[in-house]
Amino acid sequence: MHDHDHEEYDECCTEIPEASVGQPVVDFSLKVYDPEEGFFGEMDMEKLMEDGKWVILFFYPADFTFVCPTELADLAAKHEELKKLGFEVFSVSTDTEFAHLAWRNSERLLENVKYKMAADPTGKVSRYFGVYDEESGLALRGTFIINPDGVLVSKEINFYNVGRNADELLRKCQANVYLREHPAEACPAKWTPGDKTLTPSEQLVGKVYEALS
C-alpha cells in the first residue's frame, strides 16, 4: 500500500470495484503519445501523485471519428490554463498510441493538442472508470478529475452523440483547486474565481440568499 492509500491495479485483480467519487483511485499506468515532445511514453498514477499533480482523464470513443476531434480541440484551448492550476491532462481512448500519433498528425483540428494522448486498447482502465461499452469496445465520453491525494473528485459521462464543454471543465477545476485550499467553504452554482462562496453552518440554514447577496 502506498502512502496515498491506493490499491495496486495489477493483472491478478479481477474484483476491483468501479471508481467512485470521493474515494482514492487505484494505481494504473497507460502508454501515451506525447505530441509536445513527439515521442511515446507512459502515464503512471503513482508518479503523478508523488509529484503533487491534479489529473484530468478525458475519455472519448475513437480516433478518426467526428465529434471527438472537436472535443479534443476544445480541451486543447484550455490546456495552458489547466496546466497553470497544476493539472496534467490526458485524453484516453481504446486506440493504440500509434493510432493517436497518426490521427494527431493528420487531423488539422488537433494541431494545437499538446497534452498526452493515452492508449487503453484492452479497455481495462475504461472499465474501471465505468465508461467502457462492451458492445462496441469503445469508451463513452467520460471526464474525471483526480486530486493530488489520488481521490476522484468529479466525473461526467456522456453518450457518444453529445460533446462536452471545456469551459465548464475549467470552471470545475478552478472550484476544486480553491476548495482544496479552503476546505471549510463550498462553491455555489456557476461559481467562478472571485465569486462569493458559502461556509456551511447552523447560521446558513435557510439563509443562503442572504449569504450570497
The torsion defined by the Cα of 122, 30, 88 and 191, in degrees rounded to 10, comes to 30
CA gyration radius, the chain: 18
User: pLDDT for 95-135, tens place per residue?
Assistant: 999 999 999 999 999 999 999 999 999 999 999 999 999 99
Sequence ranges of the domains in the chain? 29-181, 184-213
Q: What pLDDT, on a 0 to 100 scale, did the predictor assign at position 1?
A: 39
For the stretch 149-191, pLDDT in tens is 999 999 999 999 999 999 999 999 999 999 999 999 999 999 9
Q: Spell out the residues 6+ positions from residue 153 whose beta carbon is closer than 8 angstroms to its own.
A: 21, 22, 145, 146, 147, 176
Q: Do β-strands 29-34 and 138-139 pair in parallel, antiparallel, or remain unpaired? A: unpaired
The answer to whether residues 172 and 164 touch, using CB atoms and an 8 Å cutoff, is: no
> 29-181 in CATH: which number?
3.40.30.10
The dihedral built from the CA positions of residue 106, 110, 116 and 119, taken in this order, carries a sign that is negative
- Do 115 and 79 form a contact (C-beta atoms < 8 A)? yes
Contact call for residues 169 and 149 (beta carbons, < 8 A)? no
Closest C-alpha to 63, from 30, 114, 31, 109: 109
Q: Which of 13, 68, 173, 187 is catalytic?
A: 68
68 included as an active-site residue: yes
Output the nine-digit C-alpha cell for 40.
Answer: 511515446
Residue 202: is its pLDDT beyond 60?
A: yes
Q: Render pLDDT for 5-64 as a digit per residue (tens, 0 to 9).
A: 444 444 434 457 899 999 999 999 999 999 999 999 999 999 999 999 999 999 999 999
Q: Is 160 left (phi over 0), alpha (psi -120 to 50) or beta?
A: alpha
**C-alpha–C-alpha distance, residues 107 and 169, integer Å:** 23
Contact (Cβ atoms closer than 8 angstroms) between residue 130 and residue 157: yes
Query: Are 6 and 26 within 8 A, CB to CB?
Result: yes
pLDDT of residue 24: 97
pLDDT at 114: 98
